[in-house]
Structures are given as C-alpha cells and as structure tokens.
Amino acid sequence: MTSTNSHEDTSAASSPEPHTTCELVDRRYGTEFAGPLAEGTETIDLQLRHRSVRKFLPAEVTDAQLELIIAAAQSGSQSSNLQVWSVVAVRDQARKERISKALGGHPYIENCSVFLVWTADFNRNSRIVEAKHGTDVDSVGYLENTLVSFVDSGIAGQNALLAAESLGLGGVFVGSVRNNPLEVATELKLPEYVFPVVGLAIGVPDPTERASTKPRLPQRAVLHHEEYDAEAWESASAEYEEHLAEYYADYGRENYSWAFTLNRRIGSVEGMHGRHRIREWLAAQGFDSE
Ligand SMILES: Cc1cc2nc3c(=O)[nH]c(=O)nc-3n(C[C@H](O)[C@H](O)[C@H](O)COP(=O)(O)O)c2cc1C
C-alpha cells in the first residue's frame, strides 16, 4: 500500500503532525527535503515516524503481542542462517530494578512493560555441533563470529522495535547493558557463549513525554555515490548542528551542540562508561574475540 508523498497536502500542512511521506521526510531532516522522493508506503511512514520512547504508561505488552514481536524479529535476515542470538524477556519488577541499578539507574527499564535483553548466543549452536558431531567448536572465539552475532542481534532488535511501533507500542534500545554485562549475565543466568548485546525497553508510550522525531544528518553526509566523499560531512554537519539545536530548543534545552555530544561520547575513554573493558568481559563469557 502506498501513501501520498505530496508537499501540496494543505490540510496536513496546517496540522502540527505530519501526515504525508514527504512531510515525514522533512521532519526527519528538520528541514524541507530537496531531492525527488518516490511514492511512500505505510512501512516507510512508520520508519519515518520512529522516535525512542522512554516514558511508559502502566499498561501491559501482552504475551500475544510479545510473541508477534519476536516472530517479526526472527524474520530478519540471519548470517548463514546461524540464528546466533537469543532474547530474554524480563517482566519481573524486582529483576528490572536490579538490572537498572546495575546499569546506573534508568527509569525506562524500571517502568517499561517488558525489558528485552538481546544476546549474542553461540551456546545453542555449539552444543548442537558437539552433540551431533562430537567435536569441540573451534571458531566461536574469533572476532568475526563475535561481530556476526552482534550484527544479527541488532538486525533482530530493530525488527522487533519496528514491529512494536506498528502495534502502537514504543521503546528504546539500551546499550547500557554493556556498561555492566557480567552482572546482567549473572542476573539472567546467561551460560558460556552468551553475551548481552543490547536491551530494548518496550511499553505503551506515555503521551506526556516531551520528545518528537529527532532530526538526522543531511542525507549527503551519509549517502555516497560510487566513491566515498571524505569532505561531505563538513557543510552537512554545520547544517545539522542548527537543526538539532532547534529540535532541543523546542523542548527547553538551549544551546545544544551535537559536536559537544560527540566529544563527550568519543573524545575520551571516560565517554565509554567502562565499556573499554569489553574485550575482557566478552572473554569471560567465552567470546575471546581473537
Ligand atoms: C544500540 C543502541 C543503544 C542505545 N542505548 C541507549 C541507552 O542506553 N539509553 C538511552 O536512553 N537511549 C539509547 N539509545 C537510543 C538513542 O539514544 C536514540 O536512538 C538516538 O538518540 C536517536 O533518537 P531517536 O531514536 O528518538 O530517533 C540507543 C540506541 C541504539 C541504536
């Protein structure tokens, strides 16, 4: 099914909430999109509407919804069809609170309906190989396999979040599970060869949350044709600073700087919140990452 991508839809233009694909694309970039756009679809509109949800109503994500979300997650592509991820669904309030505390305290973990912990999982496949072929697995420890399991977990997680959003739910990824992955592993009883990659807090969005669709970099910064343009970021990032600062100003946060945020996150090892020790933590779960 397609949806209109016309800039001329005046009824939508008078509304603060974008309705057409074109308006959704404009909002995604925080400015009118210059290039030609193909006809939109409901799927693309849903993707364009994405925002992280960190404030939830005290309402349940049902087991039936969860099972549909996981079916969507499992429908994602899988490297060599290895299916090297598992997900632990945490609903127990005390357990959510313990996990939150271990990660430094996050209300969105405590208040979500279900906290999904996506794990890289070579345990299942290793045991199958050992049981069926009687051989020890040799290659799990290589970095390539660590990357495979992390990439596939991310693909599955994004499919899950999009599925949840299509059901009227919302959520936020929680990379902080890697701030303290061994405590998360203990809490969830993760065996050898299973490592927490990312959390996903899901619930019914609280409409009072003050957030909207966060603008992204101008497309020319990320889309290169034929060859990588190493200068493309310069004017694009300057423009982006303005769009993102406007977005945050709308929510009362003045003088926001993306470059400042980048510096805080990648400018020094402190910005990694302890995750510079990830090789050691991976090894503790069997991922030697050689
Ligand atoms: C892998 C991953 C980990 C993330 N971890 C966190 C997190 O620990 N805490 C948080 O509040 N948001 C987290 N986020 C959400 C991002 O901050 C968010 O996606 C980004 O700021 C863009 O905003 P949007 O999702 O609303 O468009 C994470 C996102 C991803 C993809």
pLDDT tens string 27-43: 999 999 998 999 999 99
Contact 116, 73 (CB under 8 A): no
CA distance 217 to 259: 12
Q: What is the DSSP string of 156-225?
A: HHHHHHHHHHHTT-EEEEEGGGGGSHHHHHHHTT--TTEEEEEEEEEEPBPTT----PPP---HHHH--S
Nearest residue (by CA) to ligand 1, atom 20, is 52
Residue with tokens 């959704």: 24
Pick among 3.20.20.80, 1.20.1560.10, 3.40.109.10, 3.40.50.10860: CATH of 63-206+275-284: 3.40.109.10
Q: 78-92, 102-116, 128-142, 246-260 — which is least confidently predicted?
A: 128-142
Average pLDDT over residues 263-267: 95
Rounded to 5 degrees, φ, ψ at 43 are -65, -45
Q: Is the pLDDT of residue 193 over 80?
A: yes
Nearest residue (by CA) to ligand 1, atom 18, is 52
Q: Which residues contact 226 (CB under 8 A, 6 or more apart)?
A: none
Size of the chain, expressed as the number of residues it contains: 290
How do 85-90 and 40-41 pair as beta strands? unpaired
pLDDT at site 135:
85
147-148-149-150 Cα dihedral, nearest 10 degrees: 50
How large is the angle between the packed helices 143-166 and 63-74, nearest 10 degrees? 130
Q: Which residues contact 200 (CB under 8 A, 6 or more apart)?
A: 115, 116, 117, 118, 157, 160, 161, 171, 172, 173, 174
pLDDT at site 35:
86
Q: Grade residue 14 by pLDDT with cuts at 50, 70 and 90.
A: very low
Going along the chain, which residue ranges are E strands? Answer: 2-3, 40-41, 85-90, 114-121, 170-174, 194-203
From the CA of 176, give the closest atom in ligand 1. Answer: 8
Cα–Cα–Cα angle for 283, 145, 118, rounded to 5 degrees = 75
Intervals of CATH 3.40.109.10 along the chain? 63-206+275-284
Pocket around ligand 1 at a 6 A CB cut-off: 50-52, 54, 172-176, 198, 214
Nearest residue (by CA) to ligand 1, atom 19, is 52
pLDDT at site 224:
97
Nearest residue (by CA) to ligand 1, atom 3, is 175
CA of 4 to the centre of ligand 1 (A): 29
